[in-house]
Structure 1
């Protein structure tokens, strides 16, 4: 207990000596006057600024007067003692309050603003630029130069000195062990690092930066590759969204047409039923009128006969019988009304048609619910059926058109022009061949479209992958692995893929050609005059677009009305 009290008393004495008489805090940039007393630079400056007498500059402690303002120089010894005290106590700031000077009791409070600042030079109170590690002092740009000339280690003002010291020995970190990849001080070299490869931290810094710099291009290239793949995925996502939206729009149109057909059929049958009903009711009404008239005549006969039969007098009966018989004879004879055969309200045939449509749709829904078929059934390649079931009407993409291709307002006709059109720059635009692709892309399902070539003698029509290049010589349809093309030059036909040509025999001069794409089967079937001209095979699960190559005249995507 006595030792603890003595230690506390010693700290109190030291702290008392390192406390500014003006602000009662630890010195901040301590400055000594000619009389020997020290103050914080800011405190003594403010003291003189607020003085009332004009006789000179007064020491706030001993009241000595200086006729001229003394030259204020840093008290290096006191400053070092303050910094050492801060390091010793392990705190940035201390507040010391002497409660009882006689007994030497001291209270140490955390949070006191003391010593230097992380923002100001400890020599001139200017803005600090660096901290000198060996000298443990903050310096501005001006006072930093001597430390730079001596080769001292400099760090940013916010870096704590403790972070730059060896945890084990408390000495500055100056070395780097390559074997353990760890920082160390000079003392550490004699321990477990004795046989390790050790270099200075600056050398290790340069070497590791060189290693990172060497790896940077590869990482950057990988980043660009991933970014390109991300863009491709984004494009495919957009195309999937567009394809899905187009499919949904097409289904909605089919729903409308089916509903319209069913509604019109039912309304027509109901109208016909009502018409036949009215005709039959009219005939039945006329038959009822005739039968009711006959019934009235018969009632009159019965009434006359009943009256005569009730007459009991023979003479009276005989006298009136002659007249009665004569009246009965004058009445029209009863004749049965022959009913005209009326048509039966039979719509069994029409109902069977509707029942067939319902059954067809039930089977269709069951097939969809079972999921996609791994091996699609063989498609009937009748063009009428293909047109009805899978018909598409592609529209051209102006952003892909070569500048010598003019696109019609409805985006269905591509015309070769002698002058270049003033199209804006676009990454999808062909710049070598007079080509254009459609806005539509397909990666699943079956699709059929037709192209009118009646105004052109030299053309190429087919499909290409979305990823096919647009800016070099190999971008011609059929001249690369990413495109498949039916080609015509005057009257010569051929099929092109990956720059390989297959000659085709196409009799006659056809103006319309059909193309059926089965993505799952991996087939593109080309038709001419209801004949299969050629079948391309490939991986069409990747998005592909219908494409046109126009050498002269015009080529037109036909609008197929289902």
Structure 2
């Protein structure tokens, strides 16, 4: 790349000069820190901010991230092309500002073309590129001009430093010679930097693409969750109406029955009152024959009411309707959250080693001291008591739950089928082909490719949920405690079919929940 082309790439689009402390906006464009700061200040209070380059809008003032790589490239460019730094140095002898072409170190003056010719005729002094910093070119100890470069100490020194002091006896080079060597090195470095810029730009583009993907996915998830909760609210309202109607009609029926009973009891009460008055009259009569004959004729069968026969609100039926309705809603919600993929798993007995007992329904596995005498297969693990599932996943979102023993140690996770079947690399989690959550004593660990990380949560439940999103490259573990607790999420780019993996250590078991 030509210097002019590179300079164009290193120009700030605001001040049109080489970058000074370059910073980058979220859109990927770079500016001098002071330049973009002034632009953003002018946009303050306008209701938003925009990039001067691409006009991308931001609701809030965007964060400015220092681009150290670009800053280093700009500094290297200026060290090789000092004329590009924008500093104006004028001739010392001219009355009007005339750009200098050289500076004389002995005279400590800067010269234009005209005065340079006169100077060269009169004296033979050391000339250099235009500079205003003559003191920087002198030795701080001897006040002599720096003429040599000490290769051992990496310092510019004067002739007196060569004869005395700490540089005596060291290997020296003329400044021009040392400068050319450094320039050559810088040119080599400069050739490497543009590809780094391109690579950095590609990385920025990839991150921007990932940001867009995340934003789109978040929008989709937001829409899905909003619709899901809207549907849940509708179902809850329908269930609420059903229960309220059930309660209302039960109340109406029971109250009607109670009203009928109360009417019967009122009639009975009136009859009893009439009997009391009649009996009282009989008790006042003097003729015994009349009393006896009247009482016998008036005696009737008494009708009794037992309060135990009264109807009550059937709370059990209401509760059962409520629980059944809620269970139906939860089942429907689970289907919408985790998708339509079936997640029922079975253990592949052909992968289980001889000291791992697998239950008849192929849902449970436990470490045993009894040799199961399984037939030897290529899929069977030899060294570690672990097994894979019969089903594999190559796409989609899935989840399943595992019940684990309260004591002992166990591991659950996922693995490629290409995992080793014997030797140290066959252990789930201790290779680059498997990921697992492990319980040891009363703590959780997550393991992948020999990297062991403590989760930091104590064990509070024996039920674990495993969630897989194959395309997103996410494998998550949740402890089904109260409340549900997220333990860890692995992120990876899955390249092979994944199988669920289950390991049982001493005195432990794991069971796949149906």
TM-score bracket for this pair, using the shorter chain length: 0.3 to 0.5
TM-score (norm 2): 0.41
TM-score (norm 1): 0.38
Rg comparison, structure with higher value: 1
